Structure 1
């Protein structure tokens, strides 16, 4: 243990009484770690890590957890043994020791945050009914919500797109926004960043993140949980945090620690520098591919080595953002000089910056590239080996080198195009398509590497399935085919925080316009930056007009295309796509490209850097090798290649230096919680409890606490259950949780119609997350869901065994099962519930009457959320699947041994008996995936909210 310390750090006698500080829950300080850190004229209580033997060998991320335990040690939930267990961490061991992590704050976006506040408002009423004080239901940790998920790119390619889209946003979401304004006034420690400001994760790194927090006289590492899986973007700043379900976030806001196992930590060593032409997006797609292959689900990833200093903060944030895509809990960079420079540049106060540097250096949290920590496993990357890449057509980990993009598209096309293969018009028929002043465009590649002929309507599909379809839009006639780029979107938190790729895209646009190129007329082009700072530096650099010229007008500050808020395609394009069943594509600078996520008309989705998004908007097709074939014909009649307009690193660097300043951040965030006139003019309800509007179709009181009593109801076995859905591998929360547009002929659409809502006002599922009646009807309703109970059927359907096994909507069948008193189970394959941390994937499952999910494996967040909603997660025996056991979903299921939980123990397995229609049975022992005692408490209480509520009333 080190005995020498900086002159800035002083220690009270470890046997003396604790310092008289205003600390909500004073630590027992069994290790005498309490000390005082002096920074300038300020003094803070800190808990020094070197008071614990073994702390110096821990990775950066585990040091942060260790400080968290030292500071919150209460002798009951968090004990000295927990501290010792973490300090003596065995890198080679599988996680087995439970600890309680107490986040310093909570951050939310409005899709996932609205249900949190709805639940808190409901809890206030429930506390009152149980004889408690509703004022006790109050965030105990700072909670900040950024409204960023509600803007839809309805209007694009015109100067007023932003204003029009924001107007539509307020019209659609008025009830929700009034509710959030009530929450901001009713709850302490709750703040709202109004619409039209930015993406939550970018606002977090640019403004909300403290890196080192100060509260009640203490200084400690900034830690958080967020209601969005991409909360990990803040890991790039050295802040430990990750995405959780809304129900876990609610518990954290109410002072409940997050129960977790001490994780394995994967060290990712970086060296070298990115080569010219490679972007942060290329880097993160490379890392995503590597870590998916490594297998990092449930682990921390930590970057170290000499290459760390060569990774700008914005690139670190881009990498941290993609943590859910490669599956890790967190993907963190340690604090170093780059962190300090970024904090200064984004307008943090001099006192805050000084505190971060002093605290990190005193606590051994400052990155030293010469030190190689001990990790559970390691891998490394030479940054110089990164090459331009995209990922798709349906998973972010499926990286494709840009040079192989065309061939990879063609290889994948057979899975999406329904027509039989046929060649396009033969090359010799070129004279059939004479040139004209108004060229007829074709959205298809050549297939032979020959230059494009943009006067040819049907050339280029040679060698692959083709279905040229004529379209006329605004008087212009053209043809689209499989592979046409229907959406090119600079969107999402992944890249729109990163000046290098955003400036790169704008410079590429400038060069393209100067050469006379235009976007293809079938491409919907949108620009949705992460914060207002982006448009500020675009304007300063004089680049905005060039993006506008190519149709990349500002459509909003928020998550648009990446979360399914792409808005509709032009009617003529949409009709042609549907009529010919075309496999058209989207190209977006986001982090998610799952099937059915981006737009209902689009089957194939590709992730790419912002400059490549612009390039594909110019090319108009995925069936082109943009590294060798021209993007178009310039005003001089000559072909223009990507290499002709790709900006150099020096051009990007010079523009950033000239256009970005700390003043931009200071002005953008000077009054970030105030909002514009639209926000300020919203009528704001008052009172400790919310006045629910029985006619509201946006915000309704959920049924979670109906009939709840102070004593828990004993856990029961599950008998006579039916299978609601039989699912395969990689079923994501996008497949389960309602998202995107609401169609009129679905149960949710019918509900809204019955409640007097016009189809044009349906809005999205995400915007209606505060209404359980809508959300339950959209659970398991993704248009790409494949329920194997049915043959060759996609969408939210199942077999209803209360109606002789007839096909029915999943919601309708669930209602029939509920009326008959029949519990439900879901059978699934590997990686069940991967993707975003969507609480409604678990809430909807529970409200449909599903008592258990039996899968081959689970993604971390969804498994935890299922328990939080009282649904039992079970795993098939090692090596077994539903198929290998001969299960087809027509059986009835009995699960016995669950009642062991009533005895205070968690069974390792429960017996499952599946009875076929002929009376024969299949028996197996399913592994119980309740992994910690805390999770067992939640399940025994019927869910995490009921557990917290009972604790609050008892307190």
Structure 2
């Protein structure tokens, strides 16, 4: 292969062919230390349980992890300062004198440094070191290593359930007569409250303050719980609401790139419960929220004028998803990397979960002390490096000059549509049968126009009308250039006299408080306000489904006429039902394009040929008239995005939140649970744990709770959005005396397992084959043939003493990292999931909650085996843990005499131990309690 690549290419390097099943996820090393078990081939770190283990596998409160180990003491060398003295000491990779290290990708070198620094020949061995050095060979043999991250980061939607479990585990330790302080973070843990805010108020100068006021009103109890945790647990810091999104705070404030602890220097690394922790990879920090290793990307060159980093990352997402890089490391290198700004790198790294990778890693090429350490340890990338200096497995090429403005949708982030093909693609979607790219609207109804009254003025809506346009926090607000670009589009649109229709709900919810400062400095916020893009929040709002209500008249027009309405947002996920229950089509776009589609009011437009609107003097205005050049954007960013904005913002962020400061919390090591709480409840699976594990048992004559198709996401499995008034969750809240206005969302109430179980499979867009493809969160109770909500059917099965299984297609559990997507089914009574393939992060979660993951044999699925979900399933799993082996074949029989074989997706001996204990949390409690006694 020719490695003398022309300037302007993107080279993508992927791993060898997939193994029969993914490697293991997380290893725990009792009694008091934790490692990530990572395989060098297609491994997957399950964040939720990795984080819990890291938090819990500690000794008494306050104990520090040893700064050094001694197996490689001979390569601990000093790093001199230029003017004399030393920065500190470090474990030197060059001192190993092994030529194989020069060929290792930089992300693999970080793993190597970690195992060397932590090598004690007990938990981490010299054999682990050799496996990484010999990566070129071991990557094809599924070699397992131990990797220890430097710190953890959580966001509130997943952080609250995590801390709830920690608090309950403390209670359980006390119940067993053990030290409850065993449950305490050993490494720094930061919790950023960023997923609680909702866009209730939009297009208003006081939207930001009003939304925060409502946020505190709804979430006072869960905020108080987190504030208690910050004082009850050592090593835990809470960032209050309004601080920005977790990955932005991580990027702009928490990242250190290189740590210096007790005189020992080592690379920063982080695990996080937000899957977009990968944004930190843009700084050269190893961090992830999903699992995998070995896909490696090289990128060169610049984008042509008018193309944004969003367009690049949407193109890469499509390309990498099609090629298949799920569960792998992605590394960018080459001379072109030096020409990519940090914000552009952050945009690309942030979308790693959408293209399926663990990390989108950019090696470090900045800062004096950091540079000195990384140069000395062969971790600093040089712009003149030849592409032959590191070894990868296979190659793809993307010509950057071919990247064009794009959107993705209408239902998945990797379904990219070039902007110039959007109109044709939209009409195809209307024609296509219902699916990821189809709505099956009859031709005679596709041009139907519905007229209605909006706040006493005439309005109209049709298929393709944009009713929600949101510049969101998830991906693009890390990048000032695209936020400035959106502001410049707003400025030019205002100058031309263009307006957004008042019934389009517009909002701006940056992930960083710094965005307010540079938008104010440039006066671009004023122009954005004229178009309705007022600052509404600093947090993850629309992108996680907290988009708030549409005007009642708009909602009625959509529902009464079955309109396929549209949301356009600068987020990273657009799965069905996630953004808003009433927007059946959702398109991801750059912030400037969000503004453009808000102005157009429809996606049924060809921007090249059709005007975006009519301005002053009845003049038609085209998108090209208001689109800024790359040079214009660069000039504004250079003059207005200033370092002091970042330092001043983060100096005050922890002390200037009056509402947070006024919260009163209990002073106790054990949390005083309130049995009447509808937000924070002690989980039932952490009560009455006996010291002896329950062991495995055969699943006999189980009923199928749901029969599902391909690409069932965690949004389908555990809905995070609005709580419908007639749902089981709403009925529960009504019984508890909660007014409908204070329902909040499923995601906001995940600290209460009564809500988690009622939110399981509650997505209104889910398609269950048992319902003859009728869309909605219901199923058939097979014995009676009656139709029930999924929750009600499961409770009926449980009351009758029946086990349940779920049948599904390929990529089951894709999407956001979400342990409630495993908790909910477990609480429903689901014992196993049988599918074609799992998204790795979710498979691990199922194991962690004691649910058996099983995969059909290659080429088989429920349909090919003639299974319709009305059968009863017996899974012939041995009842002795010693007779169960990772990846073994398991026979399943049905009551109508069908028999087929599946692969058991308990992938390691450690996962078998979790299964034997009924889940990872009971395993940890028994390990800690047993070690103490």
The secondary structure found in structure 2 opposite 1:669 is helix
Question: 2:58: which partner in 1?
Answer: none
Kindly indicate whether residue 772 of structure 2 is the aligned counterpart of residue 801 of structure 1.
no
2:341 alignment partner, one of 312, 316, 319: 312
1:329 is matched with which residue: 348, 358, 370? 358
Distance 1:798 1:384 in 2: 49
Match in the other structure for 2:508: 527
Residue 403 of structure 2 corresponds to residue 381 of structure 1 = no
Structure 1 residues 641-650 or 703-712, which shifts more? Answer: 703-712
- Higher mean alpha-carbon deviation, 213-222 vs 837-846, is at 213-222
User: 1:805–1:625: structure 2 CA closer, same or farther, 3 Å change rule?
Assistant: same
Aligned position for 1:457:
none
Q: Which residue in 1 is equivalent to 2:151? A: 105
Residues 551-595 of structure 1 show CA distances to partners (whole Å, capped at 9, x for unaligned) of 000000011111101111111111111110100100000000111
TM-superposed deviation, 1:26: 4.3
* Aligned with residue 379 of structure 2, among 357, 365, 388: 365
Deviations 1:301-333 (CA, angstroms, capped at 9, x unpaired): 111122211211111111111111111111111
Alignment equivalent of 1:652, drawn from 633, 637, 653: 633
| CA shift for structure 1 position 881 | 0.5
Partners of 1:942 and 1:77 lie apart in 2 by 24
Which range moves more in the overlay, 674-683 or 901-910?
901-910
Q: Which residue of 2 aligns with 1:663?
A: 644
2:882 matches 1:908: no
Tell me if the contact between 2:887 and 2:907 (Cα under 8 Å) persists in the aligned partners: no
Aligned residues: 857
Q: Within 5 Å, which residues of 2 pair with 1:695-714?
A: 695-714=676-695
CA contact (8 A) 1:231 1:242 kept: yes
Contact 1:181/1:684 (8 A) holds in 2: yes
Q: Deviations over 1:216-267 (max 9, x none)?
A: 43221111111111111111111111115xxxxxxxxxxxxxxx8xx55223
Q: CA deviation at 1:493?
A: 2.2
**Cα shift at 1:418:** 6.4
Aligned pairs (5 A) from 1:292-691: 292-336=321-365, 340=366, 353-369=367-383, 370-372=385-387, 373-414=390-431, 415=434, 420-422=442-444, 465-691=446-672
Q: For the structure 1 residues 717 and 214, does the alpha-carbon distance in structure 2 shift closer, same or farther, using more than 3 Å as the test?
A: farther
Q: Is residue 2:317 matched to residue 1:288?
A: yes
- Alignment of 1:44 with 2:88, yes or no, is yes
- DSSP 3-state at the match of 1:265: coil
Q: 1:924 is matched with which residue?
A: 900
Structure 1 residue 92: deviation in Å?
8.7
Contact preservation (8 Å) 1:877, 1:927: yes
Query: Residue by residue, what CA displacement relative to the aligned partner does 1:368-407 show, whole Å, maximum 9, x if unpaired?
Result: 2423211122223232221111111001101111000111
Q: Could you tell me whether the CA contact under 8 Å between 1:142 and 1:190 is conserved in 2?
A: yes
2:787 partner SS = strand
Aligned to 1:133: 179
Aligned match of 2:698 in 702, 717, 728?
717
Deviation of 1:124 (Å): 0.4
Aligned-pair CA distance for 1:45 = 3.4
**2:847 maps to 1:855:** no
* Separation in 2, partners of 1:91, 1:766: 43
- CA gap 1:907/1:490 in 2 versus in 1, 3 angstroms: closer
Matched, 1:230 2:210: no
Q: Say yes or no: does 1:889 pair with 2:877.
A: no
Q: 1:22 to 1:888 in 2, by over 3 A?
A: closer
Equivalent residue in structure 2 for 1:181, among 227, 236, 256: 227
Specify whether residues 92 and 403 from structure 1 end up closer, same or farther in structure 2 by C-alpha distance, changes over 3 A only: farther
SS at match of 1:298: coil
Structure 2 equivalent of residue 17 of structure 1: none
Are the equivalent residues in 1 in contact too, given 2:65–2:186 (CA < 8 A)? no
Cα offset, 1:718, TM superposition = 1.5
Shift, 1:286, TM fit:
0.6
- Listed as ranges, the matches of 1:153-172 within 5 Å are 153-172=199-218
- Asked whether the equivalents of residues 876 and 925 of structure 1 are also in contact (C-alpha less than 8 Å), the reply is yes
Q: 1:915 to 1:217 in 2, by over 3 A?
A: farther
How far off its partner does 1:906 sit?
3.0
Q: Per-residue displacement from partner, 1:89-122 (whole Å, max 9, x unpaired)?
A: 1369545112222111111111010001101000
Which SS does the other structure have where 2:893 is aligned?
Answer: strand
Q: Deviations over 1:141-185 (max 9, x none)?
A: 111011110110011001011111000000000000000110011
Match of 2:77? 35
- What residue in structure 1 maps to residue 846 of structure 2? 866
CA-based RMSD of the aligned residues comes to 1.7
Q: Is the 8 A contact 2:423 2:603 kept in 1?
A: yes
Q: Which residue of 1 aligns with 2:27?
A: none
2:815 maps to 1:835: yes
Q: Judge conservation of contact 1:172–1:763 (CA < 8 Å) in 2.
A: yes
Cα shift at 1:530: 1.1
Distance 2:847 2:439 in 1: 40
Distance in structure 2 (CA, Å) of the matches to 1:37 and 1:794: 62
Sort the Cα spacing of 1:657 and 1:30 in 2 relative to 1 into closer, same or farther, 3 A.
closer
Query: 1:4 maps to what in 2?
Result: none
- The equivalent of 1:252 in structure 2 is none
User: Does structure 2 retain, via aligned residues, the 8 Å contact 1:272–1:382?
Assistant: no
> 1:781: which partner in 2?
762
Tell whether the 8 Å contact from 1:492 to 1:591 is kept in structure 2 after alignment: no
CA distance in 2, matches of 1:22, 1:174: 33
Do 1:22 and 1:216's aligned partners in 2 also have CA atoms closer than 8 Å?
no
**Corresponding position of 2:12:** none
Task: Out of 613-622 and 263-272, give the one that drifted further.
Answer: 263-272
Specify the SS of the correspondent of 2:537. coil
1:60 match: 106
Deviations 1:915-949 (A, max 9, x none): 22xxxx22222111122333222222211111221
Q: What residue ranges of structure 1 are gaps of 5+ in the alignment?
A: 1-20, 245-259, 341-352, 423-463
**Deviations 1:475-500 (CA, angstroms, capped at 9, x unpaired):** 22021111000001000220011011
Contact 2:152 2:190 in 1 (8 A): yes
Residue 720 of structure 1: how far off its partner (Å): 1.6
SS of 1:729 mapped into structure 2: coil
Task: Measure, in 2, the Cα distance between the counterparts of 1:704 and 1:331.
Answer: 36
Match of 1:148 in 2: 194
Determine the C-alpha separation between the residues in 1 that align with 2:656 and 2:702.
50
Which residue of 1 is the match for residue 10 of structure 2? none
Q: Cα offset for 1:39?
A: 4.1
8 A Cα contact 1:60 1:334, kept in partner = yes
Which of 204, 221, 240 lines up with 2:267 in the alignment? Answer: 221
User: Contact 2:804–2:832 (CA<8 Å) still a contact in 1?
Assistant: yes
Name the structure 2 match of 1:819: 799
Alignment partner of 1:754 is 2:730: no
**1:42 Cα shift?**
4.9
Partners of 1:492 and 1:162 in 2: CA distance: 14
- 1:954 CA displacement: 2.6
2:66 to 24, 39, 43: 24
Q: Is the 8 A contact 2:877 2:884 kept in 1?
A: no
Shift of 1:607: 0.5
* Residue 207 to residue 127, structure 1, CA distance change in 2 (3 Å): same
With normalisation by structure 1, the TM-score equals 0.88
Q: Is the 8 A contact 1:467 1:580 kept in 2?
A: no
Determine the C-alpha separation between the residues in 1 that align with 2:262 and 2:685: 35
Structure 1 residue 23 displacement after superposition: 5.2
Q: Which residue of 1 aligns with 2:242?
A: 196
